[in-house]
Amino acid sequence: MRIAVISDIHGNLEAFRAVLEDIRTQHVDKIITLGDLIDYGADSETIIKEHIRLNITAIRGNHEHALIDKGLIKHLSDNASESLRITRKMLSRECLEYINDLPLLLTMDGIRFIHALPPDSVIDYIDFVPFNILGYIFESYPETICFVGHTHKLGIYGYNNGNIKFYPIENEYTKLNPENRYIINAGSVGQPRDRDKHAKYVIFNKEDFILQRRLVDYNAHEAARKIRQSGYPEINAKRLL
């Protein structure tokens, strides 16, 4: 099975559609979105409706969760809080109900999918977790592969016999060791944080344990124009360019 894992679209329709078109060329069996479909960008509503229309499996990110649980807003930056206020006004009842129904996590065929940090966090940043604590986290759930997003940065944490290694996903293909456990960050489709402006996602081939990195060009200037036109903070547009 070839699984396309996408994350952190953040209302960027141009990036999302470019990624979907790329996925169509990759003979993928399933698409899973790791949350944060919404916010920062101008097209959260359309992206949700595309998920519904295409029957794409999705879980909840911290931005969706903050729409439902207002107590989580305190965990957002001022920019994110202001963006969420704008996004809330733009979403239809249908899309709000869709968000409310999103699960926090998904497990499938020995793989765990969670927005931020296993076993079940949508708000914690894996980058800030000391390796000695991360070792306990690796042992806290049964699946050997876990996909996350949230940081908007591609990367792999590998775990074997108490040893943890982090390495960035710098090559198109990475061969994983079936004897190890992994937390894999799928990067961000629509809001880069790594100085690379491509839309990013990964494909995992479960049969041969090969991870494929995909970098996709899209019309970032159009996405930025719509962000500005919709009244979002300027930083949301600048990060795309």
pLDDT at residue 185, rounded to an integer: 99
pLDDT at residue 23, rounded to an integer: 99
- The stretch 141-153 carries a mean pLDDT of 98
pLDDT tens string 62-111: 999 999 988 887 778 899 999 999 999 999 999 999 999 999 999 999 99
pLDDT at residue 95, rounded to an integer: 98
pLDDT at residue 73, rounded to an integer: 79
Q: Residue 61 pLDDT > 90, yes or no?
A: yes
Q: Residue 51 pLDDT > 90, yes or no?
A: yes
- Boundaries of domain holding 29: 2-238
- The stretch 197-222 carries a mean pLDDT of 98
pLDDT at residue 85, rounded to an integer: 94
Mean pLDDT of the chain: 97
Name the residue among 216, 205, 182 with its Cα closest to residue 113.
182
SS3 32: strand
3-state helix, strand, coil in the chain (%, to 5): 35, 25, 40
Rounded CA gap, 150 and 164, in Å?
20
Number of domains in the chain: 1
pLDDT at residue 71, rounded to an integer: 81
Q: What is the CATH number of the domain that holds 222?
A: 3.60.21.10
Instruction: Identify whether the C-beta of residue 120 lies closer than 8 Å to the C-beta of residue 107.
Output: no
pLDDT at residue 115, rounded to an integer: 99
- The stretch 15-43 carries a mean pLDDT of 98
Q: Residue 154 pLDDT > 90, yes or no?
A: yes
